[in-house]
A and B are shown apart, each in its own frame.
Chain A
Amino acid sequence: MRKIIYILGLFSAFTFTACEDDLNLEPFDALDTSSAFEKNADFTQAIRGVYRSLLNASYYGGEFYLLPDVISDNLIISSEGRTSYSGYYLFQQNGELAWLGFFNNAHNTILRTNYIIENIDNLEDGEFKNNILGQALALRAMAHFDLGRVYSTPPQFASGDDLGMVYVTETNAGLKPARIGVSEYFSLIEQDFTQAVGLINADNGTGFLNKASVHGLLARFYLYTGQDQKAITSADNTIAATGTSVATFDEFPEVWDDQTEAGVLFKVINTDLDQVRIGVVYNQSGPDGVRDEYVPDFGFFQLFGTEDIRSTWFEQGQFAGNTYNHITKYLQRPGSNQAIVDAKVLRMSEIYLTKAEAHANLDQDAQALAALDVVRTERYDGFVLPGTEAGNALDDAIALERRLELAFEGHRHFDLKRKNLPIVRTDAGDEADGGGIAPPPNALTLPASSPLWQMPIPQAELNANPNMQPNPSNN
């Protein structure tokens, strides 16, 4: 009997031992948001986290390079590819085909900056704080600018009731914000960039913004928004701040496999650990050849002369019995897997071409030509200085050079858009000699008047946020 009582006692002692404390489990790979910003190192890590968001495959890690060229006259689809992004290529954008990945990602970049900005006063005043804040503001402005370029009318063409996007400055996930006017939106971008320039360090190392590259982003911003004089000033500030020029003729090919930083103002570093296959949006190479997703528009391809160093961006090769012009700009970095290279966001040649175009717009042909020649002399074998163009011919030369120099870096669509120009594709096929399958007739041109120049607002956003106004293209 006593044994039974012992056993019973033992039994109940075990049974009613509270295990309630064991319900408080902490994750091994995260900390509460409220304790994420305490020390300097926390902010250093958080600002790196913003740069990392740029590397997302729907942002500078891939699509943001591709789609502005796909929705333009620079690329046509390969009939032997996987028909990736063909809806965009065929001008079939709608609420379900509205670059949702980029929309999400750019806003996630903004969220990461806003967490830093909201907590910035946890830091002591001084250079460290200024530099963190400067980078956060510049990155916030850059993401808003990218969104604005995709979804809004350029402010110089906008009417009074045209809409910009939402300028997000807080981390409250419960917000359902409405869009603001175009001019207000773009002036908020300018404000962040301008404030950032005053705060950021002159040098933060490769892969990070600094004073020169923020000046450079401002130059891009001013040119896009039609503010030529400011574009010139910002370009000059950039040039002054870096003290360097464009990559030379010899250096140029090495820019694309990350062997040199020459002429690169800002790039997002893509390590072997990240494994972001930036170039896979163009093609994949295998033992039996390179399988293209997109190939250069044949008319555009013919603009790259043999004396042009940029003709090394193409290789002819066979696939499935046909010959194609493969785009090899993002093929490979030695030692890394295929298609893994750093994402070049801003280069000195863009700054010079921006300066050239802005001067030309202001009929300052001499300065424009000089800036243009800085680029041209390093791109063409045997280029004779100085160039000879003036007037409209100079305008055309600048536009041509810009199209060639910035091809496949996500500019062409926006350059056409800010100049109110149509897309006119060459009626030629996808094969190396212009044979093969040409764009269907309804995809040969997109008039400048088309509402599709403002990408539709993603349906997912319209569903979740009743205050979000659609674009004309949503209908």
Chain B
Amino acid sequence: MKKILLTCFMLVFVLYAWAQDRTVSGTVTDADTGEGLPGVNVLLKGTGTGVNTDLDGNYKISVPSDGGTLVFSFIGMEKIEVEVGARSVVDVQMKADVEQLSEVVVTGYGAVKRADLTSAISTVSGEDIQSQPIAGIDNLLQGRSPGVQVINQNGAPGANAYIRVRGVGSVNASNEPLFIIDGIQLTSQQYNALNPNDVQEISILKDAAATSIYGARASNGVVLVTTKDGSQTKKPQITYRFQYGAKEMIPNNFEMMNKEEKLRYEVEVGLRTEESADELRNSLAAPDTDWMDVLLRRGTVQTHDLSFAGNGEKSKYFFSFGTYDEEGISVGSNFNRVTGRANTEFELTDYLSFGNTLTVTNSSNNQTRDRNNVQNPFRAMYDYNPYEPEFILDEEGNRELDENGDPIYNPTRQGFSIGEALRNNPEEERFTNAIGNVFAVVEPIEGLRLKSVAGINYRIREREYYVHPGSILDGFVGDPAAPGSKTDNFDVRNQVNWTNTANYVFTPIDGHTIGLVAGTEYIFSDIKQSSISSKGFPSGDFTTHDNASEVTNGSTSINQWSLWSQFGQVSYNLNEKYFATGSIRRDGSSRFGADQKYGVFWAASAGWNIHDEAFMDGVDAVSQFKIRGSVGTSGNIPNELYASRGFYGFGSYNNTVTRIPTQLENRDLKWEENFNYSVGIDYGIFNNRFSGSVDYYTRHTRDLLFNRPVSRTTGWSSRLENIGEIVNKGVELEFAFDAVRSNDFTFTLLGSFANNENEVLDLQNEGEDIVNFSGVSLLREGLKVNTYYLVRYAGVNPANGEELFLTADGEVTNIWSGDNAVAIEGKTPLPTYFGNFGFNTAFKGLALNVNFYYQGGNYVYNTAFANQQLANGNNSARNNQRVDAFNYWKEPGDVGVLPKPGVNVQTYTSDRYLQRADFIRLRNINLSYNLPETVLNLARLKQVQVFVQATNLWTFNPFFDGDPEVGRGSEESDLTNLGEITLYTFPNTRGVTAGLNITF
């Protein structure tokens, strides 16, 4: 067969060779630079005759006597056709094809023109997330894509974000999307290891049609990150970016008491006598202290980024080097990162090319402890009293000094000085990541592209936690005979993947285009963890364990998982008007038992470009109108690695080995499965001046991975099973309106809106609720996921100031009982709507981009509110309080007041502290100026941009006490769901940075 083809081909060639009679030559140049373009394909239309331009852009080609038509093509440039006519010299200028570049969307194992898409995929351009004072690529996605909710876990430097694509589909397994960079799966801990400036584009796959080719890992959506490869620019281009700025805590919308106020409050509540208050009032050793001033500082961000990009005749390259340094708003919090990247691709022959992507990064952070007591500075700054100074003072108000002449930290009534601990109990983590791949591409015949990718994701984590000898904490937890203790962790994770794909696009009959994808993927991950703990250190200056008097603990462990998959996809389009796609994936996972090792996932979708129909010809106003729909399945794997097995593990008793039951068997355990369907419209009217899309989705999660409670009398509390069903539904809108389009002035309005409604359909728990670990929310059939479950507050008894509650039956009572908790219907931690809006405008070289983020419909159990305003007396009123805590019941008849506080009055959990958390926040405002070309030409520069930007500058917060953007409660008591409880985690920050981008 091949021989015949070859013969035919030769024959055609010979025929044409015989028909030609003259030569045409010319030079192809870049319209931007005027320089010759090498490697441009010059083809005589309708024939197989073709040549490439030489290094200077010159070419020479034989043409028939009538001249014919020459087609000039080059990747990234607009294709040009020229009638030769009688000319013997044809010079051509080629322009960059902006359209083509922006219109191609990266999809699972391929790329598709946006116009041909049949699934719901949002894209975020790399430019949108570059040069921002935020370390994590995940946080940068906030407000960038409808239906993709991104919430900062907290405001710590380098902190992660929660990403929720189309709601929450899981209770016990992950709700985070699959995150893939250049074909390599990342874990969320690695998001902040990437340099956002390296990113070319991010695709967020939302519906089943897009995600199911990722099968068992795809039910929470897929984020595909593509890094720059140099194809953008032909000439070598050097870019340098710099920015510097400051951050501070977003101010509270309440005030804490000062010294006099707190003393008065303590006397009123009965915690302190008037005499002892007077003693403190008059004491120079107890000056009025603002603990926020003491424990917070101005944070700073500084970044440098240098990159080289370009593509030569047979190669493409992108190299970059970047640094990101952030000092957090508290002593002892910072994040520093150095990144390097080398992406290259070489065309060895017409049909074979090789390449690689590689980033090596090193980051380190110092962490404040994220826990719900004064070992966390962000709780301490509220708890410490304003009459307690940072350092112990003598009667004249001078600092007392220790034997070394250093001031002595005041442990306060909390018995712990966080100021001291931040210096003497440091916790530091360092990460080294190497993420990259090598690939080979073979294109044996036109339209067929075979690609083999071997990737590695290597990560080292080093952690050191040191309780210095002689520190206050050492006094609590240490051994006086061997002071000081330290724990080091060293973890190495090695994840390799090997992915092979074949893509074939062909047109068997004119107008009918068929695309095929077939592939296999193998992923293996191995995590080795080790730790060592010692005590007895000579001094805080010595940190390694060879200085310790006794090693107290040490451990190593290994965990592995693997995934082996085959997948395929068929797509078809008729005249770029009607589209259909079907895909299938079979995944095998090491996490399941022999009976359930494999899962098959599928999807089908269709699209219709209505605006291309003849009947739309007369409707000039509509430039784009497309309908698409999809249906399909995807899966979610459990976090547990060997979840189906029954295990006996090992431990120790009296320093000898024990064996103990550790896991219950469930041979039937399998994937959590999503069944999704969605429809969408893409539209553009008035020459695309007004454009956007509308999507509606339904996401059913079945066989939820869930720890089903078992009778505790069995010795177990739960077993991981597939039970229950959840549904998420929602609408996503996105629009852009080019209000002004002119050369000098543009103004575009942007916006998006998404809503999400979910419901627990089935729990298979005999109709019983499942109360979450946090204890304040539950799952109940017929209600929303994580509906709050609390005793209801019934106000204050005007007669005596007692706090009142409702019983489960709705009777008013003054006795709190946990048995009276009820589901607070409709109130859950997950926002029911969210989105963004803003505008981009440019006038000559000036540009202003403004982006607001909004969300709402969610409720948060506000612990901080409970502790600082409504403490009711008892123990927590000994901590500092908000000024409005004075507004309590004082005499019969008082209404609209807080309950009467007292020494023996408890603070009870109730919906009194459940607050609505809607907000609008000015997420980002960026003003930039591009130097005019005349100046640039003088300096031989391509682009110089200076900018100033501000993040989180303004917030509209009508209901919530404190910052309404609540991610996690507290890392060390990590029992809470996203946005469920405030527990004093690192606060969010606002800041201003200024910077400079120069392109040579």
Contacts and interface: CB of A to CB of B under 8 A. Distances in A.
Interface of A: 1, 3-4, 7-8, 11, 14-16, 18-20, 22-34, 36, 42, 45-46, 48-49, 51-53, 55, 79-83, 86, 90, 92, 94-97, 100, 103-104, 107-112, 114-115, 165-166, 168, 171-177, 207, 269, 271-275, 284-289, 291, 319-320, 334-338, 437, 440, 458-461, 463-466, 468, 474
Interface centre among B478, B652, B712 (most CB of A within 10 A): B712
Nearest to A465: B711
Interface centre among B6, B416, B717 (most CB of A within 10 A): B717
Contact of A288 (B411, B557, B818): B411
Contacts of B641: 25, 27
A81 B373 CA distance: 13
Given A29-B557, A273-B553, A461-B711, A22 B648 contact: no
Interface stretch (B151-159, B358-366, B657-665, B678-686): B657-665
8 smallest beta-carbon distances between A and B, as pairs: A111-B715, A96-B818, A36-B648, A465-B711, A49-B658, A464-B709, A287-B475, A30-B647
Interface in B617-669: 641-642, 645-665
A337 B817 CA distance: 38
A108 B819 CA distance: 26
A338 B476 contact: yes
A83 B662 contact: no
Contacts of B665: 33
Interface stretch (B426-434, B559-567, B967-975): B559-567
Contacts of B715: 107-112, 114, 168, 171, 173
A172 B874 CA distance: 46
A319 B715 CA distance: 41
Contacts of B953: none
A166 B713 contact: yes
A81 B874 CA distance: 11
B564 A461 contact: no
A86 B407 CA distance: 37
A165 B711 CA distance: 13
Contacts of A49: 651, 653, 658-660
Nearest to B482: A335
5 contacts: A7-B352, A94-B819, A95-B818, A286-B472, A334-B481
A440 B904 contact: yes
A457 to B, nearest CB: 10
B588 A32 contact: no
Contact of A460 (B477, B500, B712): B712
A286 B479 contact: no
A34 B646 contact: yes
Contacts of B442: 4, 7-8, 11
A181 to B, nearest CB: 16
Nearest to B904: A440
Contacts of B481: 334-335
B983 to A, nearest CB: 15
Interface in B894-953: 903-904, 906
A288 B646 CA distance: 49
Given A42-B659, A49-B658, A273-B553, A1 B714 contact: no
Given A286-B475, A335-B479, A464 B711 contact: yes
Contacts of A32: 645-648
A230 B520 CA distance: 73
B41 interface: no
Contact of B660 (A53, A110, A168, A177): A53
Given A25-B590, A30-B648, A107-B715, A48 B564 contact: no
A437 to B, nearest CB: 6
A114 B663 CA distance: 15
B239 interface: no
A272 B712 contact: no
A319 B416 CA distance: 12
B959 interface: no
Contacts of A468: 711, 713
A19 B478 contact: no
Contacts of B645: 27, 30, 32
B597 interface: yes
A8 B711 CA distance: 58
A178 to B, nearest CB: 10
B719 interface: yes
A84 B789 CA distance: 23
A463 B768 contact: yes
A48 to B, nearest CB: 4
Interface string B977-989: 0000000000000
Contacts of A111: 661, 714-716
B660 A46 contact: yes
Interface string B370-413: 00000000000000000000000000000000000000000101
Contacts, number: 256
Contacts of A36: 648, 659
B714 A272 contact: no
Contacts of A207: 653-654
Contacts of B874: 83
Interface in B526-554: 535, 552-553
Interface in B293-341: none
A129 to B, nearest CB: 17
Interface of B: 2, 6, 349, 351-352, 411, 413, 415-416, 442, 444, 450, 452, 472, 475-479, 481-482, 498, 500, 520, 522, 524, 535, 552-553, 557-564, 588-590, 597, 641-642, 645-665, 709-717, 719, 766, 768-771, 775, 817-819, 821, 874-875, 903-904, 906
B653 A175 contact: no
A431 to B, nearest CB: 14
A286 B661 contact: no
Contact of A1 (B2, B478, B716, B903): B2
A465 B712 CA distance: 8
Nearest to B524: A22
Contact of A20 (B588, B662, B771): B588
Nearest to A147: B713
B660 A337 contact: no
A3 B498 CA distance: 23
A46 B660 CA distance: 6
B875 A79 contact: yes
Contacts of B647: 27, 30-33
A15 B520 contact: yes
Contact of B560 (A25, A92, A466): A25
A344 B562 CA distance: 47
Contacts of A115: 661
Contact of B564 (A20, A79, A320): A20
Contact of B662 (A3, A30, A81, A320): A30
Given A18-B564, A23-B562, A171-B661, 13 more contacts: A4-B442, A19-B562, A29-B650, A30-B649, A79-B875, A86-B906, A173-B714, A174-B714, A285-B475, A286-B476, A337-B478, A338-B477, A466-B766
B711 A337 contact: no
Contacts of A81: 875
A320 B818 contact: no
A166 B713 CA distance: 7
A275 B472 CA distance: 20
A48 B657 contact: yes
Contacts of B662: 30
Given A29-B557, A86-B906, A463-B768, A45 B659 contact: yes
Contacts of A11: 442, 450, 452, 500
Nearest to A274: B652
Nearest to A18: B564
Contacts of B415: 284, 286, 288-289, 291, 319-320
B464 to A, nearest CB: 19
A335 B522 CA distance: 51
A107 B714 contact: yes
B645 to A, nearest CB: 6
Contacts of B719: 173
B714 A175 contact: yes
